[in-house]
Amino acid sequence: MTVWQHPVAWALRVGVVMATLICGTALAASVTDEQWSAYQDAFVQPNGRVVDTANGQISHSEGQGYGMLLAVLADKQTDFDRIWSFTRTELMLRDDGLVMWRWDPNAKPHVTDPNNATDGDILIAYALGLAGEQWKRTDLTAAARELASAIGSKLVVQQQGMPVLLPGNAGYDAAARPDGPVVNLSYWIFEAFPVLAELAPETDWQAVSASGIALLEKTMTPYRDLPPEWLSIAARVRSAKGFKDEFGYNAVRIPLYMIRGDIQSPELLERMRKAMTAPDGNVVLKDLTSDSVTETLNDVGYRIIPALADCVLHGTRLPEEFMNFQPTLYYPSSLHLLALSSAVSRYPECLP
């Protein structure tokens, strides 16, 4: 059991999160006006659509969730409302309360995949919950409760004696795949679970959080220091059929989510930090079967993740290069701001 999984530690974490929200300003100070303006100018259209600039200019529930969360962290209520309005009117069209995940400006209809993506749903519910408390908006809190309840009832299933998150409502459970359930560990957004626990207490979110760490521990054997993106947990934990056995773009954010969620698993975090970092500080993606590098990522939005882990674990201050936020592509820029926000709000000793 990691420290953070202990019931007392969980209760304290929930209390800290909610006290921070009630105080109102602590979260808002972690993204500056300048940073938010740069992000918004690069990726958020006037109608609130967050654009994935490296993926054919599409939008998706993950991007809307990141945009909403960053707007809360920047204390930009009007901008939040625009992003939420687009999300609500264009993607929340399912009859089960979940969020359609993919929106293409060049397609008619614009929604090209009505399935949900659970990380997007969690980000949106979490951002709504934060926003409702921070701005004293009962409408946002009510929407957060509805979505959190839908996530808990539709996407949390029992497997291997613990509750796990399905990546989507369709296509991943045991009925849909011989090796199902299949999960993606980058969908465990640890910082969100204490808030979801307040919004939808009928689901055991502490146990959901703990299952993510337990699965990480099972995948990171003595011979493998990085988790694969897609896991079959039907019997023993292994890479899912039909997916590459790789540490890829999704998985690079797992250490960031652990840090932002205050997960006290230093050994796991250190192993990932070392294995994902090249000698020059770039981030490497790997084929885990051969342990070979498939791609090297030099964007500061990726590089800041192991650098922040190094600070959290060893007290190494962030290099100055990470402090000047200049938008590049949607995904690494979103991760960059989330990492900076974490340093400002939780780890000021990491700042140069």
Report, as residue numbers or ranges, the catalytic residues: 119
332 token code pair:
């690494």
**Residue 241 has what DSSP assignment?**
T
Residues 113 and 195: their CA atoms lie apart, in Å, by: 28
Q: Hey, CA dihedral for 288, 292, 297, 302, is it positive or negative?
A: positive
The tokens for 215 are: 């699965």
Residue with tokens 């890479």: 239
CA–CA dist 6, 66 (Å, integer): 29
> In sequence order, which residues have a C-beta less than 8 Å from that of residue 126 and are 6 or more positions away?
65, 69, 144, 189, 191, 192, 195, 196
Angle subtended by helix axes 33-43 and 61-73, to nearest 10: 160
C-alpha span between 62 and 95 (Å, rounded): 20
Contact (CB, 8 A) for 156 and 203: yes
* Cβ-proximal residues to 106 (8 Å cutoff; 6+ apart), any chain: 56, 57
CA dihedral 260, 309, 228, 235 (to 10 degrees): -60
Please answer whether residues 36 and 83 qualify as being in contact, where contact means their C-beta atoms are separated by less than 8 angstroms: no
CB contact at 8 A, 215 and 147? no
| Spatial separation of the C-alpha atoms in residues 298 and 234, rounded to whole Å | 36
